Amino acid sequence: MRALSDPILKVQNLTMRFGGLVAVNDLSFTAGRGDITALIGPNGAGKTTVFNCITGFYKPTTGRMALRHGTVDIDAHVERLTDTPNDHLVMAEGSLYLLERMPDFHVSARAKVARTFQNIRLFSGMTVLENLMVAQHNPLMVASNWTLGGLLGFSGFRKRELEAIETAKYWLEKTKLIDRADDPAGDLPYGDQRRLEIARAMCTEPVLLCLDEPAAGLNPRESLELNALLRAIRDDHGTSLLLIEHDMSVVMEISDHVVVLDYGTKISDGTPEQVRSDPKVIAAYLGAEDEAEVEKIEAEVGL
């Protein structure tokens, strides 16, 4: 499994407490490079909390989240980086980031981890194209010499802006939103908004894309299209995906690796086939209490 041989993200002993509530309890898992890793579990299992920790929106109570670019050996260097006060380490073969030490916008800008939200967060009063331009803020900011060059109308910025529009166009075509490029994002139907959020995240050129329930509220046909889009992102762009999903048809269809959470604890980890037949998972989802009951349920659902 690539999660072991070629990891991109290594989460170790992640714990997140809110007062007396332990939302995530000592969670460790790895996500493989070029894999689609699914994080599943019943409602309230702590999946979104894990996402918020990885993307820097929450500071975890304890734990380490190491992300690598290139082929740096995470295990060989992560202890050395942890002993320094730095949040990243740059080496010839790539760089290593400790996500728990970075503020949220650095996680996206430097560690190149992009995310979408469970309740869609688009810039609804801006057009679809503008949404994708905002996503390319950092490179455009550099090209505009931090506003000064752009204000004086230097040609370097205009050229870079045209490139940014091309990137946006590419993703609009990929997500079949090109005809609505000049419409306000808030006017799009729900399924289109979901895809636009993915396109916007991809415009930041991430190495790891975290999707929080991308198929929620989609009809079966849209779900199928989403599967194809996610596969294309993985195969054509070398972006690894980490997704939270309830729709098992999406999870089982496209994931390479599934991690199951229940009450903030990992209860299963493996390929979709392994997870599907794991009695603990079935028990968690169906609320069974002991092995015998699980077997009974398994027989009933035909496993």
Binding site for another protein (CB under 8 A): 55, 57, 104-106, 108-110, 114-115, 117, 121-127, 129-130, 133-138, 140-141, 144, 147, 150-151, 157, 161, 165, 169, 178, 181-187, 200-201, 204
Nearer to another protein (CB atom), residue 22 or residue 126: 126
Task: Quote the least distance from Cβ 113 to another protein, whole Å.
Answer: 9
What distance in Å separates the CA atoms of residue 46 and residue 55, rounded to the nearest whole number?
Answer: 14
Nearer to another protein, 77 or 237 (CB): 237
CB distance 201 to 114 below 8 Å: yes
Our CA dihedral for 280, 283, 286, 289, rounded to 10 degrees, sits at -160
Query: DSSP state, 179?
Result: G
Alpha-carbon distance of 292 to 113, in angstroms, equals: 43
Cα 289 from Cα 279, distance rounded (Å): 10
Minimum separation from the CB atom of position 181 to another protein (A): 4
Nearest distance from residue 157's CB to another protein, in Å?
A: 8
What is the C-alpha separation between 273 and 271, in angstroms, rounded? Answer: 5
Nearer to another protein, 201 or 282 (CB): 201
Q: Which is nearer to another protein, 148 or 248 (CB)?
A: 148
Q: How far is the CB of 179 from another protein (least distance, A)?
A: 9
Q: How far apart are CA 34 and CA 2, in angstroms?
A: 8
Q: Which is nearer to another protein, 3 or 107 (CB)?
A: 107
